[in-house]
Amino acid sequence: MKYLYKYTICLKKYIRRPALFCLSGILLAGLNSCELIQPKDIVNPNVDAGSFLDSYDAMAPWRNGVEREFALTVGSFVELTELVSDNYFNNYSQSSKVFDIPQIEYHDTDVAGLQRRLARLREVAVYGIEKVAPADPKTNADDLFSLQLAKAYSYLLAGEYFTGLPMTPKGEVKDWKAQLNQAITELKSLFSNQLPVEDASTLNVLIARAYYRLGDKTNAVDYAGKALNLSRDFVKTVKFDGLNGTSNAMQAGVYGITPAFQPLPRLDFLDPKYALTRPNEQRPIVIAKAEEAYLIQAEALIAEEKPEDSRALLKTLLALVTSRPEYTVDESNETRTGSYKKTYPKSDYTVAASASDLQRSGLVRTRGISGALVAVPCISGTSVEAAMIDNASTIDDLLELCYLMRQEIFFSEGRRMSDLGIRFPVAFSEASVNPSASGFTSAQIPSFIPLSQDMDAFEVDVATKTVVIKHNMNHVIVTNKTSEYVVPFM
Protein backbone atom coordinates (compact mmCIF):
# COMPACT_ATOMS: atom_id res chain seq x y z
CA MET A 1 0.00 0.00 0.00
CA LYS A 2 1.39 3.32 -1.01
CA TYR A 3 0.05 5.96 1.36
CA LEU A 4 2.61 6.66 4.05
CA TYR A 5 5.60 5.35 2.14
CA LYS A 6 5.05 7.57 -0.87
CA TYR A 7 4.20 10.75 0.95
CA THR A 8 7.09 10.25 3.39
CA ILE A 9 9.56 9.94 0.52
CA CYS A 10 8.07 12.89 -1.37
CA LEU A 11 8.04 15.17 1.67
CA LYS A 12 11.16 13.90 3.40
CA LYS A 13 13.04 17.13 2.77
CA TYR A 14 10.17 19.22 4.11
CA ILE A 15 8.77 17.42 7.14
CA ARG A 16 10.76 16.18 10.10
CA ARG A 17 7.76 14.31 11.59
CA PRO A 18 5.69 12.88 8.69
CA ALA A 19 3.27 11.15 11.05
CA LEU A 20 1.70 14.55 11.60
CA PHE A 21 0.59 14.67 7.96
CA CYS A 22 -3.08 15.66 7.73
CA LEU A 23 -3.16 16.00 11.51
CA SER A 24 -1.09 19.11 12.08
CA GLY A 25 2.08 20.06 10.23
CA ILE A 26 0.71 19.70 6.71
CA LEU A 27 -2.53 21.41 7.61
CA LEU A 28 -0.26 24.44 7.38
CA ALA A 29 -0.83 27.98 8.51
CA GLY A 30 -2.84 28.73 5.38
CA LEU A 31 -5.32 25.87 5.85
CA ASN A 32 -8.19 27.30 7.84
CA SER A 33 -9.47 24.07 9.40
CA CYS A 34 -12.06 24.20 12.17
CA GLU A 35 -10.34 25.29 15.38
CA LEU A 36 -12.68 23.08 17.40
CA ILE A 37 -11.35 20.08 15.51
CA GLN A 38 -7.75 21.00 14.73
CA PRO A 39 -5.42 22.20 17.53
CA LYS A 40 -3.45 25.39 16.90
CA ASP A 41 -0.45 24.66 19.10
CA ILE A 42 1.33 22.15 16.86
CA VAL A 43 3.62 23.94 14.41
CA ASN A 44 6.07 22.26 12.06
CA PRO A 45 9.03 24.62 11.63
CA ASN A 46 10.20 22.91 8.42
CA VAL A 47 7.23 23.64 6.20
CA ASP A 48 4.69 26.34 5.49
CA ALA A 49 1.99 26.70 2.88
CA GLY A 50 4.20 28.47 0.41
CA SER A 51 7.12 26.04 0.51
CA PHE A 52 4.84 23.04 0.23
CA LEU A 53 2.71 24.37 -2.62
CA ASP A 54 5.84 25.45 -4.51
CA SER A 55 7.41 22.02 -4.09
CA TYR A 56 7.84 19.51 -6.87
CA ASP A 57 4.80 17.29 -7.42
CA ALA A 58 2.83 18.58 -4.41
CA MET A 59 -0.42 16.84 -5.39
CA ALA A 60 0.97 13.30 -5.22
CA PRO A 61 1.81 13.31 -1.49
CA TRP A 62 -1.28 15.36 -0.67
CA ARG A 63 -3.54 12.89 -2.45
CA ASN A 64 -1.85 10.00 -0.64
CA GLY A 65 -2.46 11.73 2.66
CA VAL A 66 -6.13 12.36 1.86
CA GLU A 67 -6.61 8.74 0.85
CA ARG A 68 -4.96 7.69 4.10
CA GLU A 69 -7.31 9.98 6.02
CA PHE A 70 -10.26 8.55 4.06
CA ALA A 71 -9.30 4.99 5.02
CA LEU A 72 -8.75 5.84 8.70
CA THR A 73 -12.09 7.68 8.84
CA VAL A 74 -13.97 4.74 7.35
CA GLY A 75 -12.17 2.37 9.72
CA SER A 76 -13.08 4.44 12.77
CA PHE A 77 -16.74 4.63 11.79
CA VAL A 78 -16.93 0.90 11.12
CA GLU A 79 -15.34 0.06 14.47
CA LEU A 80 -17.61 2.24 16.59
CA THR A 81 -20.92 1.98 14.72
CA GLU A 82 -20.75 -1.82 14.60
CA LEU A 83 -20.66 -1.76 18.41
CA VAL A 84 -23.71 0.47 18.56
CA SER A 85 -25.62 -2.09 16.48
CA ASP A 86 -26.59 -5.69 17.19
CA ASN A 87 -23.78 -6.97 14.95
CA TYR A 88 -21.01 -6.98 17.56
CA PHE A 89 -20.56 -6.89 21.30
CA ASN A 90 -17.40 -5.44 22.86
CA ASN A 91 -16.37 -8.40 24.98
CA TYR A 92 -13.07 -6.96 26.12
CA SER A 93 -11.59 -3.61 27.20
CA GLN A 94 -10.80 -2.19 23.77
CA SER A 95 -12.82 0.72 22.36
CA SER A 96 -16.13 2.07 23.68
CA LYS A 97 -17.71 0.33 26.65
CA VAL A 98 -21.03 2.17 26.43
CA PHE A 99 -22.01 2.14 22.76
CA ASP A 100 -23.18 -1.47 23.20
CA ILE A 101 -25.86 -0.35 25.68
CA PRO A 102 -26.45 1.78 23.49
CA GLN A 103 -25.55 4.86 25.51
CA ILE A 104 -24.50 7.81 23.37
CA GLU A 105 -23.78 11.15 25.04
CA TYR A 106 -22.61 14.34 23.40
CA HIS A 107 -19.68 14.59 25.83
CA ASP A 108 -18.42 11.11 24.90
CA THR A 109 -14.89 11.36 23.51
CA ASP A 110 -15.71 8.81 20.80
CA VAL A 111 -18.52 11.04 19.53
CA ALA A 112 -16.09 13.95 19.40
CA GLY A 113 -13.50 11.78 17.71
CA LEU A 114 -15.87 10.77 14.94
CA GLN A 115 -16.92 14.37 14.37
CA ARG A 116 -13.27 15.39 14.15
CA ARG A 117 -12.62 12.63 11.66
CA LEU A 118 -15.31 13.95 9.32
CA ALA A 119 -14.21 17.58 9.63
CA ARG A 120 -10.57 16.68 9.05
CA LEU A 121 -11.38 14.51 6.02
CA ARG A 122 -13.52 17.23 4.49
CA GLU A 123 -10.99 20.00 5.07
CA VAL A 124 -7.90 18.17 3.80
CA ALA A 125 -9.88 17.26 0.68
CA VAL A 126 -11.04 20.86 0.23
CA TYR A 127 -7.49 22.18 0.66
CA GLY A 128 -6.24 19.75 -1.93
CA ILE A 129 -8.94 20.81 -4.40
CA GLU A 130 -8.73 24.55 -3.82
CA LYS A 131 -5.02 25.09 -3.04
CA VAL A 132 -2.84 22.16 -4.04
CA ALA A 133 -4.46 21.41 -7.40
CA PRO A 134 -4.06 24.95 -8.82
CA ALA A 135 -0.44 25.05 -7.59
CA ASP A 136 0.60 21.75 -9.18
CA PRO A 137 0.32 21.64 -13.00
CA LYS A 138 0.69 17.86 -12.92
CA THR A 139 -2.66 17.45 -11.12
CA ASN A 140 -4.89 15.23 -13.24
CA ALA A 141 -8.56 14.26 -13.34
CA ASP A 142 -7.93 11.12 -11.30
CA ASP A 143 -6.30 13.16 -8.53
CA LEU A 144 -9.27 15.50 -8.36
CA PHE A 145 -11.75 12.62 -8.42
CA SER A 146 -10.02 11.03 -5.43
CA LEU A 147 -10.13 14.26 -3.40
CA GLN A 148 -13.69 15.14 -4.39
CA LEU A 149 -14.92 11.65 -3.55
CA ALA A 150 -13.39 11.96 -0.07
CA LYS A 151 -15.12 15.30 0.41
CA ALA A 152 -18.48 13.93 -0.75
CA TYR A 153 -18.15 10.86 1.43
CA SER A 154 -17.60 13.04 4.50
CA TYR A 155 -21.05 14.56 3.95
CA LEU A 156 -22.56 11.12 3.31
CA LEU A 157 -21.25 9.77 6.62
CA ALA A 158 -22.40 12.93 8.42
CA GLY A 159 -25.90 12.46 7.02
CA GLU A 160 -26.10 8.78 7.88
CA TYR A 161 -24.68 8.86 11.39
CA PHE A 162 -25.28 12.27 13.00
CA THR A 163 -28.39 14.26 13.86
CA GLY A 164 -26.58 17.27 12.45
CA LEU A 165 -23.11 18.78 11.98
CA PRO A 166 -21.47 21.98 10.69
CA MET A 167 -20.85 21.77 6.95
CA THR A 168 -17.98 24.28 6.96
CA PRO A 169 -15.38 25.43 9.54
CA LYS A 170 -17.14 27.48 12.23
CA GLY A 171 -20.36 26.99 10.27
CA GLU A 172 -23.95 26.59 11.35
CA VAL A 173 -25.02 23.09 12.31
CA LYS A 174 -27.20 21.60 9.57
CA ASP A 175 -29.40 18.55 10.02
CA TRP A 176 -28.74 15.13 8.53
CA LYS A 177 -31.00 15.74 5.54
CA ALA A 178 -28.94 18.78 4.52
CA GLN A 179 -25.77 16.68 4.85
CA LEU A 180 -27.18 13.97 2.56
CA ASN A 181 -28.36 16.51 0.01
CA GLN A 182 -24.92 18.08 0.00
CA ALA A 183 -23.40 14.64 -0.52
CA ILE A 184 -25.71 14.12 -3.51
CA THR A 185 -24.68 17.48 -4.99
CA GLU A 186 -20.99 16.71 -4.52
CA LEU A 187 -21.29 13.21 -5.98
CA LYS A 188 -23.27 14.35 -9.03
CA SER A 189 -20.58 16.93 -9.81
CA LEU A 190 -18.04 14.14 -10.30
CA PHE A 191 -19.61 12.53 -13.36
CA SER A 192 -17.65 12.82 -16.60
CA ASN A 193 -17.35 10.91 -19.85
CA GLN A 194 -13.88 9.71 -18.94
CA LEU A 195 -14.79 7.97 -15.69
CA PRO A 196 -13.87 4.28 -15.41
CA VAL A 197 -16.89 2.00 -15.04
CA GLU A 198 -16.10 1.20 -11.41
CA ASP A 199 -15.97 4.90 -10.48
CA ALA A 200 -19.18 5.73 -12.34
CA SER A 201 -20.96 2.76 -10.74
CA THR A 202 -19.66 3.83 -7.33
CA LEU A 203 -20.99 7.37 -7.76
CA ASN A 204 -24.40 6.10 -8.81
CA VAL A 205 -24.78 3.69 -5.92
CA LEU A 206 -23.57 6.27 -3.37
CA ILE A 207 -26.15 8.73 -4.71
CA ALA A 208 -28.79 5.99 -4.51
CA ARG A 209 -27.66 5.30 -0.93
CA ALA A 210 -28.18 8.95 0.03
CA TYR A 211 -31.58 9.12 -1.65
CA TYR A 212 -32.53 5.85 0.05
CA ARG A 213 -31.81 7.27 3.49
CA LEU A 214 -33.80 10.40 2.59
CA GLY A 215 -36.77 8.19 1.66
CA ASP A 216 -36.75 9.35 -1.97
CA LYS A 217 -37.73 6.05 -3.59
CA THR A 218 -37.93 7.34 -7.16
CA ASN A 219 -34.41 8.76 -7.25
CA ALA A 220 -32.91 5.94 -5.18
CA VAL A 221 -34.25 3.32 -7.59
CA ASP A 222 -33.22 5.40 -10.60
CA TYR A 223 -29.60 5.74 -9.51
CA ALA A 224 -29.45 2.13 -8.33
CA GLY A 225 -30.52 1.13 -11.84
CA LYS A 226 -27.86 3.37 -13.40
CA ALA A 227 -25.21 1.69 -11.27
CA LEU A 228 -26.29 -1.80 -12.33
CA ASN A 229 -26.56 -0.81 -15.98
CA LEU A 230 -22.85 0.02 -15.84
CA SER A 231 -21.76 -3.01 -13.82
CA ARG A 232 -23.64 -5.77 -12.04
CA ASP A 233 -20.78 -6.79 -9.75
CA PHE A 234 -18.65 -3.69 -9.03
CA VAL A 235 -16.87 -3.19 -5.70
CA LYS A 236 -15.15 -0.08 -4.32
CA THR A 237 -12.93 -0.27 -1.24
CA VAL A 238 -10.64 1.84 0.89
CA LYS A 239 -7.24 0.26 1.45
CA PHE A 240 -4.92 0.19 4.45
CA ASP A 241 -1.16 -0.20 4.86
CA GLY A 242 0.15 -2.57 7.51
CA LEU A 243 3.77 -1.64 6.82
CA ASN A 244 3.34 2.07 7.47
CA GLY A 245 0.82 2.35 10.29
CA THR A 246 -2.39 2.87 8.33
CA SER A 247 -4.37 0.17 10.11
CA ASN A 248 -7.90 -1.13 9.79
CA ALA A 249 -9.27 -0.48 13.30
CA MET A 250 -12.00 -3.09 12.85
CA GLN A 251 -9.46 -5.77 12.00
CA ALA A 252 -7.73 -5.15 15.32
CA GLY A 253 -11.08 -5.64 17.07
CA VAL A 254 -12.28 -8.82 15.39
CA TYR A 255 -9.13 -10.87 14.79
CA GLY A 256 -6.74 -12.54 17.21
CA ILE A 257 -6.60 -15.27 19.82
CA THR A 258 -8.99 -13.31 22.02
CA PRO A 259 -10.79 -10.81 19.76
CA ALA A 260 -12.26 -7.82 21.54
CA PHE A 261 -15.44 -7.81 19.47
CA GLN A 262 -17.68 -10.87 19.24
CA PRO A 263 -20.42 -11.21 16.61
CA LEU A 264 -24.00 -12.03 17.42
CA PRO A 265 -24.07 -15.86 17.15
CA ARG A 266 -26.37 -15.91 14.13
CA LEU A 267 -23.75 -13.76 12.31
CA ASP A 268 -20.80 -15.91 13.37
CA PHE A 269 -20.35 -17.35 9.86
CA LEU A 270 -19.46 -13.86 8.56
CA ASP A 271 -16.68 -13.24 11.09
CA PRO A 272 -13.84 -12.26 10.97
CA LYS A 273 -14.34 -10.26 7.79
CA TYR A 274 -10.90 -8.75 8.36
CA ALA A 275 -8.01 -10.99 9.41
CA LEU A 276 -4.27 -11.36 9.13
CA THR A 277 -3.56 -14.08 6.56
CA ARG A 278 -0.01 -12.94 5.80
CA PRO A 279 2.52 -10.69 7.59
CA ASN A 280 1.46 -7.03 7.99
CA GLU A 281 -1.81 -7.58 6.11
CA GLN A 282 -4.55 -4.99 6.63
CA ARG A 283 -7.68 -5.97 4.75
CA PRO A 284 -9.68 -3.32 2.83
CA ILE A 285 -13.19 -2.12 3.72
CA VAL A 286 -15.92 -1.95 1.10
CA ILE A 287 -17.62 1.44 0.72
CA ALA A 288 -19.74 0.70 -2.36
CA LYS A 289 -20.86 -2.46 -4.17
CA ALA A 290 -23.49 -3.69 -6.60
CA GLU A 291 -25.38 -5.54 -3.85
CA GLU A 292 -26.63 -2.25 -2.46
CA ALA A 293 -28.32 -1.33 -5.74
CA TYR A 294 -30.21 -4.64 -5.77
CA LEU A 295 -31.25 -4.19 -2.14
CA ILE A 296 -32.61 -0.72 -2.81
CA GLN A 297 -34.59 -1.91 -5.82
CA ALA A 298 -35.95 -4.94 -3.96
CA GLU A 299 -37.05 -2.87 -0.96
CA ALA A 300 -38.80 -0.43 -3.30
CA LEU A 301 -40.73 -3.30 -4.89
CA ILE A 302 -41.71 -4.58 -1.46
CA ALA A 303 -42.90 -1.09 -0.48
CA GLU A 304 -44.99 -1.05 -3.68
CA GLU A 305 -46.42 -4.46 -2.70
CA LYS A 306 -45.03 -6.30 -5.70
CA PRO A 307 -44.00 -9.56 -4.02
CA GLU A 308 -43.23 -11.62 -7.11
CA ASP A 309 -41.02 -8.94 -8.63
CA SER A 310 -39.21 -8.48 -5.32
CA ARG A 311 -38.66 -12.25 -4.97
CA ALA A 312 -37.14 -12.42 -8.43
CA LEU A 313 -34.80 -9.52 -7.66
CA LEU A 314 -33.77 -10.97 -4.30
CA LYS A 315 -32.86 -14.22 -6.05
CA THR A 316 -30.74 -12.29 -8.55
CA LEU A 317 -29.04 -10.61 -5.60
CA LEU A 318 -28.57 -13.99 -3.93
CA ALA A 319 -26.79 -15.30 -7.03
CA LEU A 320 -24.37 -12.35 -6.89
CA VAL A 321 -23.67 -12.81 -3.18
CA THR A 322 -23.01 -16.54 -3.53
CA SER A 323 -20.58 -15.80 -6.37
CA ARG A 324 -18.46 -13.51 -4.21
CA PRO A 325 -15.07 -14.80 -3.03
CA GLU A 326 -14.21 -16.15 0.38
CA TYR A 327 -10.86 -16.31 2.13
CA THR A 328 -9.62 -18.85 4.64
CA VAL A 329 -8.80 -17.87 8.21
CA ASP A 330 -6.97 -20.12 10.63
CA GLU A 331 -9.14 -20.07 13.76
CA SER A 332 -7.34 -22.90 15.58
CA ASN A 333 -6.69 -20.66 18.60
CA GLU A 334 -9.94 -18.67 18.61
CA THR A 335 -11.60 -19.26 21.97
CA ARG A 336 -14.70 -17.07 21.46
CA THR A 337 -14.23 -15.90 25.03
CA GLY A 338 -13.64 -12.44 26.42
CA SER A 339 -12.50 -11.09 29.74
CA TYR A 340 -15.46 -8.77 30.07
CA LYS A 341 -18.68 -10.71 30.11
CA LYS A 342 -19.54 -13.89 28.26
CA THR A 343 -18.49 -16.89 26.20
CA TYR A 344 -19.77 -17.31 22.66
CA PRO A 345 -20.52 -20.62 20.88
CA LYS A 346 -17.68 -21.90 18.71
CA SER A 347 -18.94 -25.17 17.28
CA ASP A 348 -21.96 -26.66 15.53
CA TYR A 349 -24.69 -24.95 17.58
CA THR A 350 -28.01 -24.09 16.00
CA VAL A 351 -29.30 -20.55 16.42
CA ALA A 352 -32.75 -18.96 16.63
CA ALA A 353 -33.09 -15.23 15.89
CA SER A 354 -35.55 -14.98 18.80
CA ALA A 355 -37.64 -17.27 21.02
CA SER A 356 -40.38 -17.25 18.36
CA ASP A 357 -38.03 -18.05 15.45
CA LEU A 358 -36.92 -21.47 14.25
CA GLN A 359 -33.51 -22.89 15.06
CA ARG A 360 -31.13 -22.71 12.08
CA SER A 361 -27.96 -24.68 11.49
CA GLY A 362 -24.76 -23.58 9.77
CA LEU A 363 -24.59 -20.13 11.33
CA VAL A 364 -21.86 -20.94 13.88
CA ARG A 365 -18.50 -22.17 12.60
CA THR A 366 -16.20 -24.61 14.40
CA ARG A 367 -13.22 -22.80 15.93
CA GLY A 368 -10.68 -23.28 18.68
CA ILE A 369 -9.44 -26.72 17.60
CA SER A 370 -6.34 -27.72 15.70
CA GLY A 371 -6.71 -27.18 11.98
CA ALA A 372 -9.85 -25.05 12.26
CA LEU A 373 -9.83 -23.29 8.90
CA VAL A 374 -12.88 -21.08 8.49
CA ALA A 375 -14.02 -19.79 5.09
CA VAL A 376 -15.26 -16.22 5.47
CA PRO A 377 -16.96 -14.04 2.81
CA CYS A 378 -14.68 -11.08 2.14
CA ILE A 379 -17.13 -8.91 0.14
CA SER A 380 -20.63 -10.16 0.91
CA GLY A 381 -22.23 -13.19 2.48
CA THR A 382 -25.71 -14.27 3.49
CA SER A 383 -27.48 -17.17 5.19
CA VAL A 384 -30.58 -16.58 3.07
CA GLU A 385 -31.49 -19.31 0.60
CA ALA A 386 -33.80 -19.30 -2.41
CA ALA A 387 -36.37 -21.42 -0.52
CA MET A 388 -36.58 -18.78 2.20
CA ILE A 389 -37.35 -16.15 -0.43
CA ASP A 390 -40.05 -18.36 -1.96
CA ASN A 391 -41.57 -19.09 1.45
CA ALA A 392 -41.84 -15.43 2.51
CA SER A 393 -45.61 -15.28 2.14
CA THR A 394 -46.41 -11.71 3.20
CA ILE A 395 -45.04 -8.26 2.48
CA ASP A 396 -43.75 -8.06 6.03
CA ASP A 397 -42.04 -11.44 5.67
CA LEU A 398 -40.29 -10.24 2.50
CA LEU A 399 -39.32 -6.97 4.15
CA GLU A 400 -37.84 -8.79 7.14
CA LEU A 401 -35.89 -11.06 4.78
CA CYS A 402 -34.65 -8.00 2.88
CA TYR A 403 -33.37 -6.46 6.12
CA LEU A 404 -31.73 -9.72 7.12
CA MET A 405 -29.89 -9.67 3.79
CA ARG A 406 -28.95 -6.01 4.33
CA GLN A 407 -27.55 -6.87 7.74
CA GLU A 408 -25.54 -9.83 6.48
CA ILE A 409 -24.35 -8.25 3.22
CA PHE A 410 -23.19 -5.05 4.96
CA PHE A 411 -21.89 -6.90 8.02
CA SER A 412 -18.77 -5.29 9.49
CA GLU A 413 -19.01 -2.36 7.07
CA GLY A 414 -20.63 0.04 9.53
CA ARG A 415 -24.08 0.23 7.94
CA ARG A 416 -26.35 -1.44 10.49
CA MET A 417 -26.59 1.49 12.92
CA SER A 418 -28.36 3.58 10.28
CA ASP A 419 -30.84 0.79 9.51
CA LEU A 420 -31.70 0.76 13.23
CA GLY A 421 -32.46 4.49 13.15
CA ILE A 422 -29.70 5.48 15.61
CA ARG A 423 -27.72 8.72 15.22
CA PHE A 424 -24.91 10.44 17.09
CA PRO A 425 -25.35 13.95 18.54
CA VAL A 426 -23.13 16.95 17.92
CA ALA A 427 -20.07 16.75 20.16
CA PHE A 428 -19.83 18.82 23.35
CA SER A 429 -16.76 20.68 22.05
CA GLU A 430 -18.91 21.96 19.19
CA ALA A 431 -22.06 22.61 21.19
CA SER A 432 -20.19 24.59 23.87
CA VAL A 433 -19.24 27.35 21.39
CA ASN A 434 -21.75 26.99 18.56
CA PRO A 435 -25.26 28.28 19.42
CA SER A 436 -26.75 26.54 16.36
CA ALA A 437 -25.88 23.15 17.90
CA SER A 438 -28.43 23.49 20.70
CA GLY A 439 -31.04 21.31 19.00
CA PHE A 440 -28.57 18.55 18.13
CA THR A 441 -27.01 17.57 21.45
CA SER A 442 -29.06 14.41 22.06
CA ALA A 443 -28.51 11.14 20.30
CA GLN A 444 -31.36 9.69 18.26
CA ILE A 445 -32.20 6.31 19.76
CA PRO A 446 -35.73 5.21 18.80
CA SER A 447 -37.91 3.98 21.65
CA PHE A 448 -38.14 0.51 20.11
CA ILE A 449 -34.38 -0.06 20.43
CA PRO A 450 -33.70 -2.43 23.37
CA LEU A 451 -31.36 -0.94 25.95
CA SER A 452 -29.13 -2.45 28.65
CA GLN A 453 -27.10 -4.39 26.03
CA ASP A 454 -30.20 -6.38 25.12
CA MET A 455 -29.55 -6.14 21.37
CA ASP A 456 -26.51 -8.35 22.00
CA ALA A 457 -28.22 -10.70 24.47
CA PHE A 458 -28.68 -14.43 23.91
CA GLU A 459 -29.02 -17.67 25.85
CA VAL A 460 -26.92 -20.78 25.25
CA ASP A 461 -28.10 -24.29 26.09
CA VAL A 462 -24.97 -26.47 26.20
CA ALA A 463 -26.94 -29.69 26.57
CA THR A 464 -28.96 -29.18 23.38
CA LYS A 465 -26.29 -27.08 21.63
CA THR A 466 -28.78 -24.34 20.84
CA VAL A 467 -28.65 -20.56 21.01
CA VAL A 468 -31.66 -18.23 21.31
CA ILE A 469 -31.14 -14.53 20.54
CA LYS A 470 -33.20 -12.28 22.79
CA HIS A 471 -34.34 -9.85 20.07
CA ASN A 472 -34.70 -10.40 16.34
CA MET A 473 -33.93 -6.82 15.39
CA ASN A 474 -34.97 -7.31 11.76
CA HIS A 475 -38.42 -8.22 13.04
CA VAL A 476 -38.33 -5.16 15.33
CA ILE A 477 -37.47 -2.96 12.34
CA VAL A 478 -40.37 -4.33 10.31
CA THR A 479 -42.80 -4.06 13.22
CA ASN A 480 -41.92 -0.36 13.39
CA LYS A 481 -41.75 0.17 9.62
CA THR A 482 -44.05 3.22 9.73
CA SER A 483 -41.73 4.99 12.20
CA GLU A 484 -39.87 8.03 10.90
CA TYR A 485 -36.58 6.42 11.94
CA VAL A 486 -36.44 3.19 9.92
CA VAL A 487 -37.51 1.64 6.57
CA PRO A 488 -37.28 4.86 4.54
CA PHE A 489 -39.59 3.72 1.72
CA MET A 490 -42.48 3.00 4.07
Mean pLDDT of 228-240: 98
DSSP 415-446: -HHHHTT-BBPPPHHHHTT-GGGGGG-S-B--
Query: Within 13 Å of residue 254, how many CA atoms lie on the same side as its CB?
Result: 32
Q: What is the spatial distance between Cα 194 and Cα 246, in angstroms, rounded to a whole number?
A: 30
What is the pLDDT, as a whole number, of residue 341?
62
| For the chain, domain boundaries | 3-88+95-194+243-280+325-388+409-479
**Helix 217-230 with 290-303: angle, nearest 10 deg:** 140
Least confident of 79-93, 143-157, 217-231: 79-93
Q: What is the spatial distance between Cα 474 and Cα 400, in angstroms, rounded to a whole number?
A: 6
Mean pLDDT of 185-213: 96
* Model confidence at 210: pLDDT above 80: yes
DSSP helix/strand/coil, 289: strand
* Model confidence at 14: pLDDT above 80: no
DSSP 7-27: HHHHHTTT-S-GGGTTTSGGG
Mean pLDDT of 214-231: 98
Other Cβ atoms within 10 Å of 131 Cβ, number:
18
What is the pLDDT, as a whole number, of residue 37?
36
Q: What is the spatial distance between Cα 120 and Cα 96, in angstroms, rounded to a whole number?
A: 21
Cα distances from 418 to residues 163, 176, 210, 387, in angstroms, run 11, 12, 12, 28
Least confident of 44-48, 89-93, 242-246, 451-455: 44-48
Band of pLDDT at residue 297, cut at 50, 70 and 90: very high
DSSP helix/strand/coil, 241: strand
What is the pLDDT, as a whole number, of residue 28?
39
Cα distances from 90 to residues 93, 262, 344, in angstroms, run 7, 7, 12
What percentage of the chain exceeds 70 in pLDDT?
Answer: 88
What is the pLDDT, as a whole number, of residue 54?
63
Q: What is the spatial distance between Cα 172 and Cα 126, in angstroms, rounded to a whole number?
A: 18
Q: What is the spatial distance between Cα 480 and Cα 473, in angstroms, rounded to a whole number?
A: 10
What is the pLDDT, as a whole number, of residue 229?
98
Cα distances from 451 to residues 13, 105, 404, 477, in angstroms, run 53, 14, 21, 15
Mean pLDDT of 238-258: 90
What is the pLDDT, as a whole number, of residue 155?
98
Band of pLDDT at residue 19, cut at 50, 70 and 90: very low
Strands (E), 191-305: 235-238, 261-263, 285-289
Average pLDDT of every residue of the chain: 90
Per-residue pLDDT tens for 409-419?
999 999 999 99
* Model confidence at 6: pLDDT above 50: no
* Model confidence at 42: pLDDT above 70: no
DSSP helix/strand/coil, 332: coil
Mean pLDDT of 121-150: 97
Mean pLDDT of 195-209: 97
Which of 433, 425, 426, 438 has the alpha carbon at shortest distance from 170? 433
